[in-house]
Amino acid sequence: MTRSPPAIFRTTSFRLACVGAGIAAASAVVVFAVIYYGTMVSMRMTLDGTITGETREVLVNGSKTSLSVIESKIQEAVTKNEHSRRIFYLVANRMGAPVVGDLDIPLPSLGWHNFNAPRKRPFAEGVTALRADVIGLPGGERLVVAVNSTVLKHLDALIRRSFVIGFGMTLLIGLAAGIEFGRHALVRVEAMGAATREIMAGDFSRRIPLAGTDDEFDRLANTVNSMLGRIEQLMESLHAIGCEIAHDVRSPLGRLRESLELALRTDDNVVLRGSVGEAIQETDLALNLCGAILRLAEVESGIRRASLEPIDLSQLLVRLVETYETVAEENGDHIVAMISENLVLTGDSALLNQLFANLIENAMKYASPKARIVLRAWREASAIIVRVEDNGPGIPAARRAEALRRFGQLDHTRRTPGHGLGLALAAAISDLHNATLELEDAWAGQRRPGLAVAVRFQLPVSSARYAPLTADKRAQAASRLS
């Protein structure tokens, strides 16, 4: 049975380190080849030039130089170089026997040669390598001129040895780095796996530990932790929603049962019709609650994000105010609109209409009799701000977060019809449009009651995308709002 390699050798970090070591080793081979051949060729050319010069000194008349002149020149050169022992000469007859010179080697063939002396028999003191040129003479003899190349031999060995050591160290360092990186990655991955298993077991408060190095693992852990925080929040919200739905639906269902039970027990048609009417009314309340929850879920899921397009928010708000002015007058309320022109953004016109309709209706519902509602909209730097103010009792700062959550009806509003989803839906629509919704004091610093709901739409840097709409676009926006 084949055994799989240890986990550390299967990590991506180990493989990447090995690949890096391989690339470094390949680069070292290329650099070595360039340095090695460049150095060796340069030094060999220098030695060959010396040999060629000495050969010309011996063959004063070229190939026509007589043997006696050659012997004389060699004797003179040998005597001259007796102490340096850098250049060697040899003239051998047709049989290969030495005629003159100070070199004792087997006669090689014509051309260039490299000779290495036996370990215990150097050519001369400190001379263990020669570079030689063998030239044929007219009488059948051969002339050998050689130069001491011991330095070249030692340099060749040094470069080769350095390459082997450097190449080996590169591979060892790469392998060691791969093991260390792999071990580090394995520890981090196992920590993530342990945290994930605890989360799967039901501990949604568990988070992936950070090493504090701000590396790719920390960045990934931060992203995953943010996701886990969002999941934990959604789970808590889901639990709360279940409890709130059970609480809010229980009352209309209880009243529905009472109405149906009364209708079952009576024979009076008037009472029967009244009971059925009440049952239908309670059923509508439950259906409206379900519909509101579904709309909120649709907005929070982001499904409507694909329908975002440039719209004229100024025109949308003006038409909305015109619609509610009639209702406000009937109730004795007053709506004031201060809306700047050409407030253009990318959004869903139907959802934005729902957002600001909810805010206006909340202001009309909870403000004092003869409410005064002010809707302001203006552009500020790279943002569009819409603010709905009223002169109602307002919401204490400590309880504003509660008012924004689902079913967040405060105690003094429990008697008012509704399910506490208006502001939650408005906040969800704002979030879909990358906007922020905040509850503020309507008359800060004036000691007057009132609530202001501010929605801030952050615009992109590019102004071209948010240029004023053309007449055709305005007509299309108007038709969608009508």
* Average pLDDT value for the chain: 77
The packing angle between helices 216-265 and 150-200, to 10°, is 20
pLDDT score at 462? 43
| pLDDT, tens digit (0-9, with 9 covering 90-100), for 452-477 | 899 999 887 444 333 444 445 444 43
Q: Could you tell me which residues come within 8 angstroms of residue 429 by beta carbon, excluding any fewer than 6 positions away?
A: 299, 351, 352, 354, 355
Lay out the sheet containing 98-101: strands in order across: 98-101, 87-92, 142-148, 129-136, 111-116
pLDDT band of residue 340 (cuts 50, 70, 90) is very high
Q: Please, where in the chain does CATH 1.10.287 lie?
A: 220-300
Q: Could you tell me which residues come within 8 angstroms of residue 2 by beta carbon, excluding any fewer than 6 positions away?
A: none
Q: Which fold has domain 220-300?
A: Helix Hairpins (1.10.287)
* Whole-angstrom distance, CA of residue 430 vs CA of residue 424: 10
| pLDDT, tens digit (0-9, with 9 covering 90-100), for 395-443 | 777 777 666 665 555 544 444 555 556 687 788 888 888 888 988 887 6
Interior/surface letters 175-199, b for 16+ CB within 10 angstroms, e for the rest:
eebbbebbebbbebeebbeebeeeb
* Whole-angstrom distance, CA of residue 358 vs CA of residue 423: 7
* Whole-angstrom distance, CA of residue 346 vs CA of residue 458: 10
Q: What is the 3-state secondary structure (H, E, C) of 422-470?
A: HHHHHHHHHHHCCEEEEEEECCCCCCCCCEEEEEEEECCCCCHHHCCCC
pLDDT score at 281? 78
pLDDT score at 413? 45
Sign for the pseudo-dihedral over CA of 187, 189, 192, 193? negative
* Whole-angstrom distance, CA of residue 193 vs CA of residue 44: 63
Q: Taking the model in full, what pTM does it have?
A: 0.46
CATH of 12-155, one of 3.30.450, 2.60.40, 3.30.460, 3.90.1010: 3.30.450
Q: Please, where in the chain does CATH 3.30.450 lie?
A: 12-155
pLDDT score at 47? 87
pLDDT band of residue 315 (cuts 50, 70, 90) is very high
pLDDT band of residue 313 (cuts 50, 70, 90) is very high
| pLDDT, tens digit (0-9, with 9 covering 90-100), for 161-192 | 877 887 777 777 777 777 777 777 777 778 88
pLDDT band of residue 243 (cuts 50, 70, 90) is low
Q: Which fold has domain 306-412+420-481?
A: Heat Shock Protein 90 (3.30.565)
Q: What is the mean pLDDT of residues 196-203?
A: 82
pLDDT score at 456? 92
Q: What is the mean pLDDT of residues 67-89?
A: 79
Q: Please, where in the chain does CATH 3.30.565.10 lie?
A: 306-412+420-481
